[in-house]
Chains A and B, each alone.
Chain A
């Protein structure tokens, strides 16, 4: 087989200890190594990746994504099945993996480099280039325990890509870096791919998967729910998240029903200006939110709270409606927003219906409805507002036109030669 990575029928089980015996006394007294149950983190996963391809792995936290990456790295063996990875493998598994906190940046470059299998001489040769790439020149003699998480990522990434790996495995870590560095990283990843490097990207950022990976796998509860072309896999994933198809969410909705409330939320949808259902839209877009509900009896003095949280729990918007009544039966509320000026990022809607008469909630769905806002030049901040820049001149204001670098360059889609060439190797 010519593939760079071949995974065949791989499963992985862990021992989940309820009680763990690690001392001789306990082991002799209990005649066991503890009380444990088998927990299947992965079940029957198969796929192949060709040389020079990007593979995306998406899924919820705890779905088994990271376990898969650890198996690919060879940190632990699969319980069943077979994994073949050809060539030099570098992995960026967790933030600051393999760094010694009390070591300086320089020492960690050498330690991490040799851990990944570089020769000392190679590191000597690439040292300047590594430092230049991570832009941490002035911090090289500082112990990394004083680094910020962003600096950790920079350092780790810079070393890993200089290993000239044939296979590069990246787990989520890129999300930590700032936008500029991310851009640079992706630029470099494309360069590596050109040389035939195979890259596996684990993330729950579906947007970057769609952008960078030809193929992806969606894993949920250890099983491959979908695999194939990224656009299709991502769509299936988003549909499932929105429809609550994951087992976890199904369980949650059962609980809702058991609660026997007078009002049930049947669903919430986001629609764009053309009335199409969407999960991702641009900053400044017109948006309609439809909420389907069912009331078992007529209700009065209801308060509907629609709150938008950013993924880091920042409460961004409260769109509330007070003192309304509903008749028995099904109905639909429609919220029209003329512009949604949230900056690019991932958000989720919390929906609550409060009954002022009973002084209790009729419905409460915490962050059940995720959506993504996309913008081209996220400069940070929570909010965007339409604005103009001008230059004050004696004759009045002279409008200034902003000329950002084009999208292609920003995301490193252009040929490395064109991309300013600041990433030297």
Chain B
């Protein structure tokens, strides 16, 4: 695998290039979707529903950007193995690089889009400070977690083709079960709060919101829990992938 490391970069670049190929705005296109969502949701929740959240657009972007990254990475990783049957059947190389390249390219995307978030934060006079230093750690944890999920999905989809569709549905549901549009506090004592609190993506997203919107350090316990879970996810994903990989060449 070490020998093949340049392959991972090449696949990642290919992934990025494929996304923005031939478009004048290039990378900006990938931002257009979250920005439009931000405009629409801001309109709905600040003007119509009057959510009591100050600087709502910043709050929203702080959650929606990492979420989108996660959603795009996992849903595109799910089809990487079945979509590359040609390679799988004919060349020996570390197959985990295919889903991992999706994760890496989404990481590049997220890093760039956090720059845009910074611009918005400054525009809305969002107080920002030292907690920003925790950002790289969050990014790393998110990528490890995403990589674990991506490996599982990519491998399972080979044997169960409807995973591809299930992922889409699941992500839509999870989007609303994660405090992205609303702050976690908005749930108050409602029973659903327990459920939302069990969702690891909620841990991650509220950490991002803490840094970007509340200018405070992420909750250490919650962050540590997410870090540990990420490690477990990656290990588990890798083991499962290794196991299922055996028959890829015959099944794709």
Residue among A25, A76, A111 facing the most chain B CB atoms (10 A cut-off): A76
B29 within 8 A of A: no
Partner of B162, one of A23, A98, A115: A23
Contact present for A76 and B161 (CB under 8 Å): no
Q: C-beta contact mask, B233-250 vs A, less than 8 Å → 1, else 0?
A: 000000000000011111
Nearest residue (CB) in B for A112 is B91
Partner of A117, one of B4, B159, B247, B250: B4
Nearest residue (CB) in B for A103 is B14
**A91 partner residues in chain B, CB cutoff 8 A:** 91-92
Contact present for B160 and A75 (CB under 8 Å): no
Segment from B55-63, B82-90, B179-187, B192-200 that makes contact with A: B82-90
- Chain A nearest CB: distance from B109 CB in Å? 22
Contact present for B160 and A94 (CB under 8 Å): no
Interface residues of B in 1-42 (CB under 8 A from A): 3-4, 6-7, 9-10, 14
Q: How far is the CA of A93 from the CA of B248 in the complex (A)?
A: 17
Q: How far is the CA of A74 from the CA of B95 in the complex (A)?
A: 12
B93 within 8 A of A: yes
Q: How far is the CA of A93 from the CA of B86 in the complex (A)?
A: 11
- Chain B nearest CB: distance from A265 CB in Å? 41
Contact present for B91 and A93 (CB under 8 Å): yes
Residue among A77, A111, A115 facing the most chain B CB atoms (10 A cut-off): A115
Interface residues of B in 140-174 (CB under 8 A from A): 159-162, 166
Partner of B92, one of A33, A89, A118: A89
A145 within 8 A of B: no
Q: How far is the CA of A116 from the CA of B91 in the complex (A)?
A: 7
Q: How far is the CA of A149 from the CA of B246 in the complex (A)?
A: 31
Partner of A76, one of B3, B14, B162, B250: B250
**B6 partner residues in chain A, CB cutoff 8 A:** 114, 118-120
Contact present for B249 and A70 (CB under 8 Å): yes
A407 within 8 A of B: no
Contact present for B10 and A111 (CB under 8 Å): yes
Knowing A75-B92, A76-B249, A114-B4, say if A98 contacts B159 (CB, 8 Å).
no
Q: How many residues of B contact A (CB 8 A)?
A: 25
Q: How far is the CA of A16 from the CA of B93 in the complex (A)?
A: 25
**A98 partner residues in chain B, CB cutoff 8 A:** 86-87, 90-91
Contact present for B86 and A27 (CB under 8 Å): no
Contact present for A77 and B91 (CB under 8 Å): no
Nearest residue (CB) in B for A88 is B3
A194 within 8 A of B: no
Knowing A117-B3, A117-B4, say if A73 contacts B10 (CB, 8 Å).
no
Knowing A94-B90, A116-B91, say if A76 contacts B247 (CB, 8 Å).
yes
Partner of A75, one of B3, B90, B159, B161: B90
Nearest residue (CB) in A for B247 is A76
Contact present for B7 and A114 (CB under 8 Å): yes
Nearest residue (CB) in B for A100 is B14
Q: C-beta contact mask, A80-113 vs B, less than 8 Å → 1, else 0?
A: 0000000001010110011000000000001100
Q: How far is the CA of A24 from the CA of B86 in the complex (A)?
A: 25
Nearest residue (CB) in B for A72 is B92
A14 within 8 A of B: yes
**B9 partner residues in chain A, CB cutoff 8 A:** 120
**B14 partner residues in chain A, CB cutoff 8 A:** 111
**A24 partner residues in chain B, CB cutoff 8 A:** 160, 162, 166
Q: CB within 8 Å of A: which residues of B?
A: 3-4, 6-7, 9-10, 14, 86-93, 159-162, 166, 246-250
Could you show 23 A-B contacts with beta carbons less than 8 Å apart?
A22-B162, A24-B160, A25-B162, A27-B160, A33-B159, A70-B249, A73-B91, A75-B89, A75-B91, A75-B249, A76-B246, A76-B248, A93-B91, A94-B90, A97-B86, A97-B87, A110-B10, A111-B10, A114-B4, A115-B4, A115-B91, A116-B91, A116-B93
Q: CB within 8 Å of B: which residues of A?
A: 14-15, 22-25, 27, 33, 70, 73-77, 89, 91, 93-94, 97-98, 110-111, 114-120
Given A74-B92, A75-B91, A91-B92, 19 extra CB contacts under 8 A: A14-B250, A22-B160, A23-B161, A23-B162, A33-B159, A75-B88, A75-B92, A93-B90, A97-B86, A98-B87, A110-B10, A115-B4, A115-B87, A115-B93, A116-B91, A116-B93, A117-B3, A119-B3, A119-B6
